[in-house]
Amino acid sequence: VTVVITTSPTPSAPSTDLLSAVIVSFAKYCPSLLACPVIVVFDTFDRVCEIPRLKKGQVTPEGARAYESYRGNVQELVLRTWRLGGRGRHSDRKWSWTTRQVDAEFGSPGEQKEGKNAVRMTIRRATGRGDVAFIEPHARLGFALAVRSALREARTPYVWVHQHDWTLEQAVPLSAMVGVMQRCNPPLPDKDDDEEEDEDGYEPPPVRYIALLSSRMLRYADSGHVQMFPALRALTTSLRRKFRVAATAMRGLPLTPLFFWHDKPHLADRRHYLARVFSSRLAVGRGMFIEDSVGHRARDQMKEGRWARWGSWLYYPFDGEKVCVKHLHGRSWKGEEKMRVDIGRW
């Protein structure tokens, strides 16, 4: 598994409080993530102006200066954290780096012009074990293209995609999730048939993406997102289960079908991600989020009975009654110190 972390301008910059909270939650609820290779994508801004609109890529002059310092601070934090490798002690590992530049293409190739429909990126990667890589686009990508760039750079079969303002709130059985994916994922098909029998004749449903419960998804299987649609209700009834997990104390991995492709933290099959979500350079545009575009197209297909093309699931412990991730709202997060000051004023 490769951990993919996406970050972008935030009011808390140059402080790394926001990302530090994420890393602390990794250490508490899924320490194995800190032993995985990591790729950090530093998305940037489009314009410098007086009024910040971070979702549209607009920052103030002060915000632009702060983000420059923030990138350096985050790199130091990531190198320090992953040098420990999740073991809680210093490693003698020394970093040696290679640097190269590549393009992130988008839009119609027929309209390709110099400096248009592509964003240049600088990629710095640790040589040797290749545990850490930093991707810095020269212009704003948006979350979708930032993720695609990291998937192309990753070298593992699976990726853990994590935005900079979500923390884990429950233990995440990463090893069990990967084991279920390995057992239930046949090779990508040439046709729209994503299922294949295993040795005992059982046809495991494809498991190619596993998202985590947030506050808005509690009791998802019983919610209107599922129950109001006969096809989705029937799929949930037939597929929701505890998957067999080998060599673990868990009695099974509880999953329920998810009828969307969310941006919030998730584990996914890397090749499937590239083939299904980023099927062409036209799939997503610059500045876009996956869930705002591909997510809705995926849901429409699932309503038509083509859920297996996506193989998307929701980790569902405690029958979906407890959150697994918490949103810190990075576009308004100002850091721990500023929050304490604000609370004091109240």
When the pLDDT of each residue in the chain is averaged and rounded to a whole number, the result is 87
333 in a structural domain: no
Instruction: Specify whether 158 is located in the same domain as 178.
Output: no
State phi, psi for 212 to the nearest 5 degrees. Answer: -115, 145
pLDDT of residue 167: 97
Q: In what order do the strands lie in the sheet with 266-269?
A: 97-105, 118-126, 132-137, 38-42, 2-7, 158-163, 266-269, 209-211, 312-315, 253-257, 241-243
Does residue 130 or residue 288 have the better pLDDT? 288
Residue the block writes with tokens 């790199």: 75
List b or e across 191-216, with b for residues whose CB sees 16 or more CB atoms inside 10 angstroms.
eeebeeeeeeeeebbbbbbbbbbbee
316 in a structural domain: yes
pLDDT of residue 246: 79
Instruction: Specify whether 237 is located in the same domain as 295.
Output: yes
pLDDT of residue 185: 79
Asked if the model's pLDDT at residue 160 lies above 70, the reply is yes
pLDDT of residue 255: 98
74 in a structural domain: yes
What are the tens digits of pLDDT across the range 162-208? 999 999 999 999 999 999 999 997 655 544 444 434 444 557 799 99
Instruction: Specify whether 23 is located in the same domain as 126.
Output: yes
Instruction: Specify whether 158 is located in the same domain as 12.
Output: yes
108-112, 172-176, 275-279: which range is least confident on average?
108-112
Instruction: Specify whether 203 is located in the same domain as 70.
Output: no
Instruction: Specify whether 47 is located in the same domain as 151.
Output: yes
Instruction: Specify whether 290 is located in the same domain as 157.
Output: no
Last residue of a domain, one of 165, 182, 197: 165
What are the tens digits of pLDDT across the range 15-30? 999 999 999 999 999 9
pLDDT of residue 109: 79
**Domain extent at residue 285:** 174-327
User: pTM score > 0.75 for this model?
Assistant: yes
220 in a structural domain: yes
pLDDT of residue 58: 76
Q: Are 180 and 207 in contact (CB under 8 A)?
A: yes
Share of the chain above pLDDT 70, in %: 83
pLDDT of residue 249: 62
pLDDT of residue 335: 57
pLDDT of residue 64: 87
Per-residue pLDDT, averaged over 33-61, amounts to 85
Q: Cis (ω within 30 of 0) for the bond into 14?
A: yes
Share of the chain above pLDDT 90, in %: 70
Whether the CA torsion 93, 75, 21, 174 is positive or negative: it is negative
List b or e across 299-316, with b for residues whose CB sees 16 or more CB atoms inside 10 angstroms.
bebbeeeebbbbbbbbbb
342 in a structural domain: no
Instruction: Specify whether 223 is located in the same domain as 187.
Output: yes
Instruction: Specify whether 33 is located in the same domain as 178.
Output: no
Token pair listed for 336? 């721990």
Contacts of 137 (CB under 8 A, 6+ apart): 41, 42, 43, 44, 104, 119, 120, 121, 146, 149
User: How many domains does the structure of the chain reveal?
Assistant: 2
127 in a structural domain: yes
Instruction: Specify whether 134 is located in the same domain as 178.
Output: no
338 in a structural domain: no
Instruction: Specify whether 144 is located in the same domain as 223.
Output: no
Could you give the CA distance from residue 275 to residue 230 in angstroms, rounded to a whole number?
A: 28
Quote the distance between the C-alpha of residue 112 and its chain's center: 29
Asked if the model's pLDDT at residue 341 lies above 80, the reply is no
334 in a structural domain: no
Instruction: Specify whether 286 is located in the same domain as 201.
Output: yes
Token pair listed for 203? 């046809």
